[in-house]
Structure formats: structure tokens, C-alpha cells
Amino acid sequence: MPRWDVTPAGVGLVASQVGEVLGTLSKIVTAYGEDMGGAAMSSGTVAEGGAGGKGGSSGGLVAAALAQFAQGTAAEVQSISARAVKSVDGALLATAAYEAGDVHMATEAQRNAAAVDEPDMPNGWRRGSL
């Protein structure tokens, strides 16, 4: 029968490491938003006749494209952490179920082994009588 190669302590270690990475990821997502805003502000504008200017309250084509890109990807970027947390939670729940199942199977095996009647042996021999 195949055996699972799961080490609960190893799963816990990896889950802890993923938690640390998720803390860093949160900072990266925040920086992503700030960087997109900074890029939009620095992209300049395009005025009629081809004249360009820096900043400007109306923004330009690049700023508009960056804003649309940020809006289009915001939900995906923010869901990265949520999906990772759900994955880690699932791994921890599966490991707990594995451990509980392992304990349950061991308990059942011991109970079944203790319940086995010894077969009658010829000439009155019984196991352990030697």
C-alpha cells in the first residue's frame, strides 16, 4: 500500500515561510499602487499641436493608459494574497486531517489486533506457552 510522504512539521515550516512572504507581498502591493501613481504623474501630457508638458492636471495618454491598467489589474493584484492565504489554510487543514486520520487508523489497527481471537492450536498449545 502506498504511503503519504507528509511531514506535519515540514508543512508548518513552509506555511510559516509563506506567511513571511505574504507580509512582504503586502508591502509590494502597496508600493505597486504608489509607483503606478508616480509613473502617471511623471508621464507628462500631450497638448494640441504636439507640445508636451510635465505634470499637468489633465494628464496625458500615458497617464490615462496607466490608470486603466491599474484599474484593470487591481483586483488581481489584491487577490494574490487572498489566494495564497487560502492555499496555506487548505494545506494546514489537509495536514491536520492527515494526522487525525493517521491517529484514527492506528487506533483502529490496535483495536482490531486486540480483538483477534487466537486460533485453537493442536495439543493444547497456545501462543506464549513455550
Task: Kindly report, residue by residue over 12-40, the tens digit of the pLDDT.
Answer: 999 999 989 988 888 888 888 888 888 88
In a domain, 120, yes or no: no
In a domain, 81, yes or no: yes
Give the dihedral sign, CA 6/91/88/12.
negative
In a domain, 45, yes or no: yes
SS3 127: coil
In a domain, 124, yes or no: no
Task: Kindly report, residue by residue over 53-91, the tens digit of the pLDDT.
Answer: 454 455 788 888 888 898 888 888 878 888 888 999 988
Give the per-residue pLDDT at 118: 61
Number of folded domains that form the chain: 1
Which residues form the domain of 46? 8-109
In a domain, 2, yes or no: no
Taking the whole predicted model, whether its pTM rises above 0.75 is answered as no
Distance CA 58, CA 124 (A): 103
